[in-house]
Structure 1
Amino acid sequence: MRAIMLGGMFLALTAGAVWAHAGEQGFVLLLPTNVYIAAGGVTVALTVALLAVLPGGFAETLFRPIAIFRLQLPVFMRYFLNLAVTVLLGWLVWRGLMGPGDPGVNPLPLTIWVVFWIVLVTLQGLVGDLWRWINPWVGVGALLRRLTDMRAPLRYPRALGYWPSVVGFLAFCGFLMADPAPTDPGRLAVVVGFYWYAMLSGMVLFGPAWLARGEAITVLMRLYCRVSFIGFSKGYISAGLSGWQILTGPRASLGLAVLCLILLGSGSFDGMNETFLWLGLLGINPLEFPGRSAVILPNILGLLASNAALIGVFAGALWLGERLAGGQPRPLRGLFCLYAPTILPIALAYHIAHYLTAFLVDGQYVLAAFARALGLASHPISAGFLNTPGPVKIIWMTQAGAVVMGHVIAILLAHALAMRAGDGRARAVLGQVPLALFMVAYTVFGLWLLATPRGA
C-alpha cells in the first residue's frame, strides 16, 4: 500500500500546466503525459513487487468485509419503486417522441446518457446495488404474475447462459459508438421503447431467469455491484475494499467471464475510436472529420476486434503464467472464469475516468432541465473551468488516480484468488507475472488514452 501512496504523491507533485480539448462523448486533457504515464506504470509495478515479499494472506486480508447492520426492507417497497421508474421511463420515451429535438433540452437523452450511463453506473460500482430498486422490468413482471397468476411457459435454456447479455451489451455499445445520432431524442425513444418491450417479452416467456442472465443492463449492473464498497454478507450490510464481493461470490461462468472483459474492451474502444491515431488508421483527417456516418462500419469492426484482442491477450497471459508457475497446468477455461472478474475494477475505473469531464459539463444540462421543470431560474451552463489550470489539474489527477487505483485493486484481487486456489506464494507470484505485465501495459495505455487528442 505504501507504493500506492508514493505513486499518488509523485503524480500530485509533478503535475504541470495543461490544456483542455472537447470531444463529442467526453473531454480529453492534453497533458505532458510522459511523467504521469511513467508514474502510473511504476505504481502498478511496485504493487506487484510488494506482493512477492508480503505475507501470503495479505491481499485476501485487505478484502475482508466489515459487517455494519442488518437490513430487511419490505418487498412491496422494492416493487413500488420499480413500477414508479417504469412509469417514469414511459414518460421519458413519450417526451423523446413528442418533445423538443434538442438533446440538451429533451429529458430522454439527458436521462439515458448522463443520469443512467454516467451517474447510475458509477454509483452502482461504488456504492452498491441500486439497480435492484429501480429495475424497470421487475415491478411490471411481479404485477403481471399477481394479476394473471400465470407462470412463465418456457424454461430458460441452460445452454444459453449469459450469452444473450453479451450480445445485448455489444449491441448497446455499437449503438453508442457507431450510430450516427445516438442522442437524437426520437431515435433514442424508439430504441429504448423497443428494448424495454423486448426484454419484458423475454421475462414473460422465461421468467426472472431472463433478467438474471439474458438482459444486458441487469447483468452489467450485477457485475459492477461486485466491485462496490457496500454489499450483503451473511445477512448483514457490509463494507470493504472495492472488489471484496468478487472473492466472496461464486466463480463466473464462461459467458459472464467474457462479459467482464468486454466491459473493459468496449470502454477502452469508446475512448480510442475518436483519437487521432484511430482516425489516421482509417485515412481520415481528424481536423476535417466527415461525421459519424462515415465511420459506422469501421467503428463496429473496431469494437469487435478490440474486444477479441483483449480476450485473446488476457487468456494468453493466463496460459503463459500457468506454464511459468510449473507443475501440472490447469485448464485455461477454469483460469479464465476465475480471474476475469478481477478486470471489473479496471473497467469501472475507465468508465469513471472517461466520462468525468462529460459529467461535469453535461450534468449542468440535467440541472438546467430540473430548474425548468420546477419553474426556477435558468441554470447557467459553462465549460469555462476547463480553461483554468487549477480545475483541469484536479480533473486529470482524479482520472489518472482512478485508472491507477483500478489496476492496483485488480492485481490485489488476482493475487488473493491465486492464494485461495491453493497456490504457494512463489507459484502465485510466478503465475501472475504475465498477467501483471498485462496490467502495467494496460495502465500505460489507459493513461495515454485519457490524454491523447481527439478529432471526432
Structure 2
Amino acid sequence: MRVIALSGVFVVLMADALWAHASEQGFVLLLPTDAYIAAGGATVVLTVVLLALLPGGLAAALFRPLAMMRARGALLRHVTSVLAAAGLGVLVWRGLAGSRDPLVNPMPLFVWVVWWIAMVSAQGLIGNHWRWSNPWTGPAAMIGRLTGMRAPLRYPRWLGVWPGVVVFLAYAGFLLADPAPADPARLAVIVGLYWYVTLAGLLVFGPVWMVRAEPLTVLMRAYGRMSLFGRARGRLAIGLPGWKVLCAPKVGLGLAVFILLILGSGSFDGLNETFWWMGVLGINPLEFPGRSAVILPNLVGLFVANAALILAFLGCLWLGERIVGGQKPLACVFCRYAPTILPIALAYHIAHYLTSLLVDGQYVLKALNDPLGRGADLLGLADYHVTTGFLNTPGTVKVIWLAQAGTVVAGHVIAILLAHAVAMQHIHSTRRAVLGQAPLALFMVLYTVFGLWLLASPRGM
C-alpha cells in the first residue's frame, strides 16, 4: 500500500497549473498531459503488481466492513418522499411560470446540479438516501392507504431491468443531444410527465416497478453499492467504497449492462465536447454551430461508445477466462465483474462535474435565497454575485485539478482491488486470479489514461 500512496504523491507533485474547466463547458482546461497520465497509469499498474505479490486475501480484507450500531427501520421515509414530491411540484411550477434563464430558474438548477451532480454523488459516496428522497414511494404509499388499492398487475419477470436500460439510454440521449436540456419550461413538462408515468407504474405493478423499470432508482441503487455506509447483519456498517458489492448477490444480465452504460454514457458526456470529437465531425470548435447541428452525431456516438465499451469489457473477460482455463459462460463472468466498474463510473462522474458544482452551486444558493421568485432574501444573498474568479487563480485551480485527477485514479485503484477480491471468491489461487485479471487490469489502466485525458482536453461546447 505504501507504493500506491507514493504513486499518488507523485501525481500531486507532477501535476502543473491549469486553466479553468466546468461542466457544460463554459471554461476550458488546458494541461500538460504527459506527467500526470503516466503517474495515474503507473499507480494502477503498481496496484496490480502489489496484488500479485501480497497475500491473496488482502483485497477482501480491505473491503471487510466495520459494524457500528443496530440499524432500525426508517418509518419516516414515506413522509420525506411526500415532501420531495411536493418540492418537485414547486419546481415544475417555477419551471413553467418563472424566468426563462436556466441560471435563475430553480427547475434546471435543481435537476442538473442538485440532483444529477450532488445527490447522485452523495448516493455513491455516503449512503442510500434515495429511499428517503425519491418523490414516488411516499405518494404511492399515501394513495394506497387512502384508497386501499393494491397493485393489480404483476411485473413480468422476463422483462428484468431491460425497461430501465432503455429509458436510461433515452435519458442519456436527452442530456447529450437535446438542443435545450436546460430550458426551464421544456424540462418542467418532461419532468412532470415522467413523475406521473412513474407513479402510475408504481401503483399498477408495485415496488418492483421502481427497482426494475425506473432507471433513476436503478442508477441510485447501483451507486448505493459504492457508498461508505450500509447495512451488514442488521447493523449500520462502514467500509471501503465497494464493500457492498462483495456482500450483494450477483447482478443479472440487464443490471450488468446498465452498469456499463453508466460508465459509457458518462465518458461520452465528456468526449462529445472535446476538440477531438469536433474534429471527427468536421466542426471548427471555435465556431460551434449549436447543439441542434450535432443531435444525430451525438446520438450515434453515444450508442457506439457504449457498444464499444461493452465489447471491450467482454473481450477482456473472455481472454482472462481463457487464460485460467475457466469454463463459466461469458454472460455469467460478465455479471460477476460488471459491478467492479462502478468505482470508475462514480469517480469520473464526480471529477467531471466538480467545477460545475463549484460554479453552478452558487446559482443554486441564489435560487434557494428566493425559492418562489417573490423577492425574498432568506439566506441574505440578495446582493451576492456569482464568481468564477477562483478558476483563474493558479492556487485554487491547482487544488481543483488535483482533486479531479486524484478522484479518477482512486476510483481505478478501488476498481482493481474490488475485481481482485471478486476473482478470489471464485479462483482460490492468487497466481491464477492475477493472471485471469491481467486483461481486465490492462483495460482499467487504459481507461485511467483515457479518463485523465478527458479531464484535460480542451472543449468546444
Query: Structure 2-normalised TM-score?
Result: 0.97
Give the match for residue 252 of structure 1: 251
Whole-angstrom distance in 1 between the partners of 2:368 and 2:87: 14
State whether residues 26 and 358 of structure 1, in contact with CA within 8 Å, keep that contact through their aligned partners in structure 2.
Answer: no
Which letter maps to 1:344? Answer: L
CA deviation after TM superposition for structure 1 residue 452, in Å: 0.5
Structure 2: runs of 5 or more not aligned: none
**Matched pairs, number:** 454
SS at match of 2:20: strand
SS at match of 2:154: coil
Whole-angstrom distance in 1 between the partners of 2:254 and 2:436: 24
Give the match for residue 419 of structure 2: 414
SS at match of 2:24: coil
Give the match for residue 345 of structure 1: 343
Listed as ranges, the matches of 1:30-429 within 5 Å are: 30-75=30-75, 77-326=76-325, 328-373=326-371, 374-375=376-377, 376=380, 377-429=382-434
Whole-angstrom distance in 2 between the partners of 1:378 and 1:60: 53
SS at match of 2:277: helix
Is residue 454 from structure 1 mapped to residue 452 from structure 2 by the alignment?
no
Whole-angstrom distance in 2 between the partners of 1:10 and 1:201: 53
CA deviation after TM superposition for structure 1 residue 379, in Å: 2.2
Whole-angstrom distance in 1 between the partners of 2:323 and 2:190: 48
CA deviation after TM superposition for structure 1 residue 22, in Å: 5.2
Which letter maps to 1:255? Answer: G
State whether residues 367 and 379 of structure 1, in contact with CA within 8 Å, keep that contact through their aligned partners in structure 2.
Answer: no
State whether residues 110 and 365 of structure 1, in contact with CA within 8 Å, keep that contact through their aligned partners in structure 2.
Answer: yes
Flag the 1:74–1:245 CA change in 2: closer, same or farther, 3 A.
closer
Which letter maps to 2:343? Answer: P
SS at match of 2:236: strand
Which letter maps to 2:356? Answer: A
State whether residues 225 and 242 of structure 2, in contact with CA within 8 Å, keep that contact through their aligned partners in structure 1.
Answer: yes
SS at match of 1:19: coil
Whole-angstrom distance in 1 between the partners of 2:28 and 2:223: 25
CA deviation after TM superposition for structure 1 residue 245, in Å: 0.2
SS at match of 1:392: helix
Flag the 1:21–1:218 CA change in 2: closer, same or farther, 3 A.
closer
Q: Percent identity?
A: 64
Flag the 1:22–1:132 CA change in 2: closer, same or farther, 3 A.
closer
Whole-angstrom distance in 2 between the partners of 1:37 and 1:172: 31
State whether residues 317 and 440 of structure 2, in contact with CA within 8 Å, keep that contact through their aligned partners in structure 1.
Answer: yes
Whole-angstrom distance in 2 between the partners of 1:26 and 1:248: 42
CA deviation after TM superposition for structure 1 residue 23, in Å: 5.9
Query: Structure 1-normalised TM-score?
Result: 0.98
1:314-357 Cα shifts (integer Å, max 9, x gaps): 0000000111123x432101100000000001000000000000
CA deviation after TM superposition for structure 1 residue 74, in Å: 4.8
